[in-house]
């Protein structure tokens, strides 16, 4: 953002620096407003560090003078009772005077207003949730889905950590998903042949042999009676399942570090005759793979999927002389290097891919963050039953353009004891500034509660669809 542009116009949002954390387009934060004497046990839970307990920031309103603090310190401009015009004019003045670590505090939970504000200015937006909301957690999740950079959450009426914990529990997966991970699964081995006439089921996946998606297939099914069928594109997987060419399709939905794979969420909507019947998660461990006998000193080019390159950036930065070449698939990059027989080339992929293509691991564990997991969904035609006891569901809905419409829909979930695990908004194609909301919930043992919530959402939302109710492993 240049001095001339100021705070106005669409484009990249500025980042907000708070202590050692940076909020922006890839990360959101919740600021807890608790009593002064409230004791938060920082070692109480593995995810307590995901929240900003006591960030150092100052709040002013447009009618107040700017503080005498250093301009590098975070400053929140609260709209208060001022008009939007006065509020934003004050923000522009602060920016002009050199306040770069600046954010706006907004009090409106109106989706249209928040969306319009985000398209009008480039400053981070912090939503102030009012104490009058019955379900603070649902409002917070809705705000995060709208794309705000932070939420000021009032919990001033609580006295103990035990009272606060249940309300925060549903926020975890939206705040810092990589801190919550299932235990590591045993290493799976893929069969040598793609197809076996005696196999009882076929599962399509996107990528080449040895891809992480293929490993995910065999974390769900026994390789002895399963054939994994590689496909070039995600849509090819959907088409193969729809046409009955394979029994199932296995698709990545979300990576702990890179976020959602939006193509697959959009495709789920485009194929209403398919649904999710199971979910699995595997750890993504990247390796630098080259020809047998090659060394790190030989390497000049490194190929991998863009996410593979991005997730290995810290390691690759140690070798600035290497050219990074985006490739359509991690395992495919290793297959390509094997075909070229050039010791100056390397790929980043799984250890299984190295073994499958007869290559050598030059450096293992090159991913920047070891808490790198990917969540996969198994899809099948409607009528195919889930692969076990249902404990999770994915649904999508849109709301009316009216104040509180999203909050009303989310409240239905809490009223029926459905714990929300994730919420994300996606634009509706052909309808500017209109959004579909993708929501994951835990399904209680009493399925009647889930069925009642589903019925209530169908009646309340403008559009509603169940993407699947399934076991999550």
The length of the chain is 473
Phi (first) and psi of residue 150, to 5 degrees = -165, 165
Catalytic residue among 14, 115, 374, 399: 374
> Could you count the other beta carbons within 10 Å of the beta carbon of residue 79?
20
Give the strand pairing for 420-427 and 274-283: unpaired
Q: Given 3-state DSSP classes, what are the helix, strand and coil percentages for the chain, each rounded to the nearest 5?
A: 30, 30, 45
- Calpha distance 401→408 (Å, rounded): 12
- Cβ(27)–Cβ(18) below 8 Å: no
Catalytic residue among 173, 376, 437, 464: 376
For residue 288, the cross-strand partners are 348, 363
- Calpha distance 218→380 (Å, rounded): 16
- Calpha distance 236→207 (Å, rounded): 11
Q: Nearest Cα to 312, choosing from 381, 271, 368?
A: 368
Phi (first) and psi of residue 329, to 5 degrees = -160, 145
Annotated catalytic residue 327: no
- Calpha distance 254→268 (Å, rounded): 14
- Cβ(252)–Cβ(261) below 8 Å: yes
| Cross-sheet strand order for the sheet of 75-78 | 29-33, 150-154, 125-128, 102-106, 75-78, 58-60
- Cβ(366)–Cβ(315) below 8 Å: yes
- Calpha distance 325→159 (Å, rounded): 54
Give the strand pairing for 274-283 and 373-381: antiparallel
Annotated catalytic residue 376: yes
- Calpha distance 365→349 (Å, rounded): 10
- Calpha distance 365→353 (Å, rounded): 14
- Calpha distance 125→23 (Å, rounded): 10
- Cβ(181)–Cβ(284) below 8 Å: no
Q: Nearest Cα to 214, choosing from 381, 367, 352, 373?
A: 352
Residues acting as catalytic residues: 374, 376
């Amino acid at each position: 953002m240049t001095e001339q542009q100021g705070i106005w116009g669409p484009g990249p949002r500025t980042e907000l620096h708070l202590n050692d954390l940076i909020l922006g387009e890839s990360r959101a934060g919740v600021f807890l407003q608790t009593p002064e004497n409230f004791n938060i046990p920082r070692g109480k839970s593995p995810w307590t560090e995901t929240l900003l307990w006591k960030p150092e920031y100052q709040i002013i309103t447009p009618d107040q003078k700017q503080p005498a603090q250093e301009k590098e310190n975070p400053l929140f401009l609260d709209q208060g009772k001022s008009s939007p015009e006065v509020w934003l004019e004050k923000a522009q003045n602060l920016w002009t005077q050199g306040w770069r670590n600046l954010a706006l505090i907004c009090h409106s939970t109106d989706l249209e207003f928040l969306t319009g504000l985000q398209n009008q200015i480039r400053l981070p937006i912090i939503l102030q949730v009012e104490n009058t909301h019955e379900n603070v957690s649902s409002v917070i999740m809705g705000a995060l889905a709208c794309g705000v950079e932070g939420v000021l959450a009032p919990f001033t009426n609580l006295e103990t950590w035990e009272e606060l914990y249940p309300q925060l529990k549903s926020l975890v997966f939206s705040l810092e998903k990589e801190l919550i991970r299932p235990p590591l699964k045993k290493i799976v081995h893929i069969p040598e042949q793609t197809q076996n006439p005696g196999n009882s089921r076929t599962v399509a996946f996107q990528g080449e042999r040895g891809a992480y998606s293929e490993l995910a297939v065999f974390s769900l099914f026994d390789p002895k009676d399963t054939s994994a069928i590689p496909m070039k594109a995600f849509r090819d997987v959907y088409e193969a399942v729809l046409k009955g060419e394979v029994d199932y399709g296995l698709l990545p939905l979300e990576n702990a570090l890179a976020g959602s794979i939006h193509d697959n969420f959009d495709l789920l909507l485009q194929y209403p005759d398919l649904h999710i019947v199971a979910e699995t998660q595997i750890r993504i461990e990247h390796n630098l793979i080259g020809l047998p006998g090659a060394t790190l000193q030989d390497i000049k080019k490194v190929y991998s999927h863009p996410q593979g390159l991005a997730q290995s950036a810290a390691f690759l930065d140690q070798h600035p002389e290497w050219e990074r070449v985006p490739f359509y698939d991690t395992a495919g990059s290793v297959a390509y290097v094997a075909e070229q027989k050039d010791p100056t080339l390397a790929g980043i992929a799984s250890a299984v891919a190295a073994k499958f293509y007869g290559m050598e691991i030059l450096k293992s564990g090159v991913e920047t963050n070891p808490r790198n997991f990917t969540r996969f969904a198994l899809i099948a035609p409607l009528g195919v039953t889930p692969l076990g006891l249902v404990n999770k569901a994915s649904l999508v809905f849109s709301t009316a353009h009216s104040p509180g419409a999203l909050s009303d829909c989310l409240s239905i979930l809490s009223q029926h004891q459905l714990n929300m695990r994730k919420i994300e908004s996606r634009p509706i194609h052909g309808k500017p500034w209109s959004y579909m909301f993708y929501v994951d919930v835990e399904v209680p043992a009493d399925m009647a509660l889930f069925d009642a919530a589903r019925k209530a959402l169908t009646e309340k939302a403008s559009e509603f669809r169940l993407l699947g109710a399934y076991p999550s492993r």
